[in-house]
Chain A
Amino acid sequence: MTIELHPNIDAHLIEVLETVSDPEIPVLTVLDLGVIREAVEKEGVIQIKLTPTYSGCPAMDVIGDDLKSAFAKVGKKVNVDLVLAPAWTTDWISESGKRKMEAYGIAAPLEETADKEALLGNKRIVKCPQCGSTNTHLVSQFGSTACKALFKCDDCLEPFDYFKCLK
């Protein structure tokens, strides 16, 4: 499924939005992550609809504050509303976001079926972000944050995070 990336975002706000990043994966901007559902300027105030990746994601409060201070720097006031529907999935992560994630050392989410096979430990398909080998295995279904699982590469022996596919 392809999701049109910024349908409800005013073009002139993108530059500032690109300066706000995910506090847990700082190479990803909020636009890469796909958590901004709407950003429009109405009567001088910017209205932003933010959606959480996981219900309990502690990064959301931080992102809300960061959005406010980023726009405060250009003299604008922001209202942030948290919206739950439609629920965020990993499909909302942009292609460039996935590439940045890999360069940062986190394996990007696979397609749903492949993800299941990988997380059940049935198939060796998750690509090591260090050496590119798929000779990797699942260490833990849960990882350093709610959105990740822990893997280890059997070729270069490095452990790495895999961003779980959420559908």
Chain B
Amino acid sequence: MANQNLYNYILGIADNSLVLGQRLGELCGHGPSLETDIAGTNISLDLIGQTRSYFQYAAKVSGKELTEDDIAFLRLERDYRNVLLVEQPNTHFGYVIARQYLFDVFHLLFLNELQYSKDETLSAIAKKGIKEVSYHKRFSGDWIKRLGDGTEESHEKMQEAVDDLWRYTDELFEMSEDDQQMVSEGIGVDLPKLKESYYDEVSELLSEATLEIPERKYFSYGGKNGVHTEHMGYLLADLQYMQRTYPNMQW
């Protein structure tokens, strides 16, 4: 392949959107209220739409006869590069919101940088995505406040979700070899540089929501290298079902 680093890099970004989009899609018809149900699927739709743009581009970069569907449905678990945070299950609504917010803040900071990429296609996808992700963050942030500063039970559940998910936040800023290569070419985003803004923004909102950032010495990593949590296999079983059962089916 002409540019293996770029190909991997695009997949790394796209897989985050794909997997989170799939998680939110699972909620379709199962949201706690009609409005939140619709919100979840709308956000999912945006994320899957972004994924399609990335995969179409990756297919082109690959120089092979690949389609966006091949990339989405025919890879093995170890070939998915998404961070662990986005594959965590929909344990309860507070959990869904915490996962969403912790990713949205990163996602927006990331796209804000990616729009200055020397790669024109990535820059265009980022600019489009910024408009959508700002709206996602507004939604998830509002719900963090509402639930954190809500009833005793909602507060407790929200804090528990944040405590649980916080261990996956450091991976967002981990640099893979592809990340490093792309940064050196002026294409990729220097992730550690986003860390401080991320931490500041999340702390501020959590404290507004009467929630705390947990003290944690150890973090979980692995997703960016294809080593996923046990939840990933189940997610892919769902995601890939049609293509695995009826290979090459189209509709």
Question: For chain B, what secondary structure do more than half of its interface residues adopt (helix, strand, loop), or is it mixed?
Answer: helix
Q: Are B124 and A87 in contact (CB under 8 A)?
A: yes
Given A85-B127, A87-B124, residue A142 in contact with residue B49 (CB < 8 A): no
Q: Are A89 and B131 in contact (CB under 8 A)?
A: yes
Q: Are B127 and A52 in contact (CB under 8 A)?
A: no
Min CB distance A81 to B, Å, is: 12
Q: Are B49 and A57 in contact (CB under 8 A)?
A: yes
Given A54-B49, A56-B48, A57-B49, residue A142 in contact with residue B125 (CB < 8 A): no
Given A54-B132, A166-B131, residue A84 in contact with residue B124 (CB < 8 A): yes
Chain A contacts of B34 at CB under 8 A? 140
Listed residue (A88, A120, A141) with the most chain B CB atoms within 10 angstroms of its CB: A141
Q: Are A141 and B52 in contact (CB under 8 A)?
A: no
Q: Are B46 and A56 in contact (CB under 8 A)?
A: yes
Chain B contacts of A119 at CB under 8 A? 138
Q: Are A140 and B47 in contact (CB under 8 A)?
A: no
Q: How large is the interface on B (under 10, 10 to 19, 20 to 34, 35 or more residues)?
A: 20 to 34
> Is A167 an interface residue, CB under 8 A from the partner?
yes
- In the bound complex, how far is the Cα of B132 from the Cα of A88, in angstroms? 11
Within 8 A of A (CB), among B80-101: none
> Is B129 an interface residue, CB under 8 A from the partner?
yes
Q: How large is the interface on A (under 10, 10 to 19, 20 to 34, 35 or more residues)?
A: 20 to 34
Given A140-B35, A140-B39, A142-B139, residue A56 in contact with residue B127 (CB < 8 A): no
Given A84-B124, A85-B124, residue A56 in contact with residue B49 (CB < 8 A): yes
> Is B120 an interface residue, CB under 8 A from the partner?
yes
> Is B16 an interface residue, CB under 8 A from the partner?
no
Beyond the given A84-B124, A84-B127, A142-B43, could you list 12 further A-B residue pairs with CB under 8 A, ordered by the A residue number?
A55-B49, A56-B48, A56-B49, A56-B50, A57-B49, A85-B124, A88-B128, A140-B39, A141-B35, A144-B38, A146-B45, A164-B135
A-B contact pairs, 26 of them (CB 8 A): A54-B46, A55-B52, A55-B129, A55-B132, A56-B47, A57-B49, A58-B45, A84-B125, A85-B128, A87-B124, A87-B131, A88-B128, A89-B131, A120-B138, A140-B38, A141-B135, A142-B35, A142-B38, A142-B39, A142-B43, A142-B139, A143-B42, A144-B38, A146-B45, A164-B135, A166-B131
Closest 9 CB pairs of A and B: A56-B49, A55-B49, A85-B124, A140-B35, A56-B45, A84-B124, A142-B39, A142-B42, A87-B128
